[in-house]
Amino acid sequence: MTDHLALVKNCLKGKAPAQKQLYDKFAPTMLGVCYRYTKSTQDAEDVLQEGFVRVFTFLNQYNGEGELGAWIRRIMVNTALNYLKKSQKYQHDLLFDKTQLAAVSSNDPEVLLHAKELAELIRQLPTPYQAIFNLHAIEGFSHVEIGQMLGINENTSRSQYMRARHLLISWITNTSGNKNKVYARK
């Protein structure tokens, strides 16, 4: 933690080697965060670059409380969400259809997946489902927080999350016969 504080102080002094070190230390992990919210590597790289511009712009606001990586992750998530809202190719995808708010069953099969396979399935979700699933299941935000971030009702967030889960479970269950991809336990 004190190493991070020294690194932050050097970055704030405008020392280019410190800024490069901060970027090199966190960029690979944060690219993964950005990739979870976008549909292409190029979009994820755009979000990463925009996110690091914001990190360096607001680095003086990091007060040393909590992990620096968590602080940067929050900026990357917000940058990714803003990117999705602004990007023309995601505009249509981010419409939250009020007619899709029916309850979904929560009966879950027990499933064992490799992390890479699960991540790829999550990336195949429609954009609103993908964003909400990532925010809730991966990042740990509450539905109230997600609603505020996305400008939607808390219940819409819950419904979209349940639909994302249901869709993932359906895909996993339907592909469980293919032993090379997904393994289901009974």
- Host H or E run for residue 111: strand 111-112
Closest CA to 94 of 15, 47, 39: 39
pTM of the model: 0.66
Topology classification of domain 2-92: Rna Polymerase Sigma Factor; Chain: A (1.10.1740)
Residue pLDDT, tens place only, 158-182: 999 999 999 988 888 876 555 444 4
Q: Domain map of the chain by residue range?
A: 2-92, 95-184
DSSP string for 39-104: SSHHHHHHHHHHHHHHHHHHGGG--S-S-HHHHHHHHHHHHHHHHHHH-HHHHGGG---GGG----
Which segments in the chain show pLDDT lower than 50? 94-112, 179-186
The answer to whether the CB of 161 falls within 8 A of the CB of 133 is yes
| pLDDT given at position 102 | 33
Q: Which CATH architecture has domain 95-184?
A: Orthogonal Bundle (1.10)
